[in-house]
């Protein structure tokens, strides 16, 4: 039987109050071993629903109490797993809207080429309805930040006259990232070739430039 997704601790492992430290200081090695175990299981095709804290502890070679000292339940652990796979995207240079957009999409392309990131993202997205709280937290802590950075670049493009002012920035953001995410999540058998970021950016920009 798998653990319920709602936070909880097993018998004999008291829950800690927010901000309260439990026992000995955390071991970075144990943290890494546990997170790496979850990544490996996901790569092997185990779903989030099939993961249990007991199984994770067993596969990682640690006691169940060790896992629960670090995470109150599976949602907290999965959030740290997703964060462990994330790298900070490059900051926009602010000189060329086109180059900034290419840089952002190239970051997505490189993440899509990383097997672990793609496998985890597909797993989470396909199960978002079953774990809405997990997805909401990930969206608020990771996705929103990146989306807002993209919107800022697009707003700059409007201000500089490179993008028509009658275009909705949120809709444009979807047009730019949609093709990349489609290949990463829905059509994972499709290639993510070099030059794809430039192709997407140039195609969309050509359609939204001011008409002379």
Do residues 57 and 67 lie in contact, with contact meaning Cβ atoms separated by under 8 Å?
Answer: yes
**What is the model's pLDDT at position 144?**
85
Residue 171 domain boundaries: 88-208
**What is the model's pLDDT at position 166?**
93
Boundary-marking domain end, from 85, 109, 140: 85
On whether both 31 and 117 belong to a single domain, the answer is: no
Q: Which of 82, 71, 61, 67 has the alpha carbon at shortest distance from 141?
A: 82
Q: How far apart are the first and last CA of the chain?
A: 65
On whether both 157 and 115 belong to a single domain, the answer is: yes
Boundary-marking domain end, from 85, 114, 146: 85
Q: Give 105-133 pLDDT, tens digit per residue.
A: 998 888 877 766 776 777 766 766 677 88
Predicted TM-score (pTM) of the model is 0.68
Whichever domain contains 174, its CATH number is: 1.10.357.10
Cα within 13 Å of Cα(199), Cβ side: 9
On whether both 39 and 5 belong to a single domain, the answer is: yes
3-state SS of 13-30 is CCCCCCCCCCCCCCCHHH
Q: Give 68-87 pLDDT, tens digit per residue.
A: 999 988 888 988 888 777 77
On whether both 36 and 92 belong to a single domain, the answer is: no
On whether both 171 and 80 belong to a single domain, the answer is: no
On whether both 111 and 203 belong to a single domain, the answer is: yes
Q: What is the mean pLDDT of each run of 10 residues along the chain (212 residues)?
A: 41 39 60 90 84 93 92 88 76 88 91 72 68 82 86 94 93 92 75 92 93 72
On whether both 199 and 94 belong to a single domain, the answer is: yes
How many domains does one find in the chain? 2
Boundary-marking domain end, from 40, 56, 85: 85
Q: From CA 98, how far away is CA 67, in angstroms rounded?
A: 45
């Amino acid at each position: 039987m798998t653990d319920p997704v709602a936070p909880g601790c097993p018998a004999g492992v008291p829950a800690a109050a927010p901000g309260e430290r439990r026992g000995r200081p955390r071991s970075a090695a144990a943290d890494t071993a546990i997170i790496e175990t979850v990544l490996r299981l996901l790569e092997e095709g185990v779903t989030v629903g099939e993961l249990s804290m007991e199984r994770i502890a067993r596969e990682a070679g640690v006691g169940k109490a060790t896992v629960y000292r670090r995470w109150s339940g599976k949602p907290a652990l999965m959030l740290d797993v997703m964060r462990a796979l994330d790298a900070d995207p490059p900051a926009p240079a602010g000189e060329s809207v086109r180059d900034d957009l290419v840089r952002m999409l190239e970051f997505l392309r490189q993440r899509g080429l990383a097997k672990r990131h793609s496998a985890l993202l597909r797993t989470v997205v396909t199960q978002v309805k079953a774990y809405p709280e997990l997805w909401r937290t990930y969206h608020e802590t990771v996705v929103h930040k990146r989306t807002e950075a993209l919107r800022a670049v697009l707003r700059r493009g409007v201000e500089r006259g490179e993008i028509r002012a009658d275009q909705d920035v949120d809709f444009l953001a979807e047009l730019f990232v949609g093709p990349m995410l489609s290949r990463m999540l829905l059509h994972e058998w499709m290639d993510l070739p070099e030059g794809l970021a430039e192709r997407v950016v140039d195609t969309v920009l050509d359609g939204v430039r001011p008409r002379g």
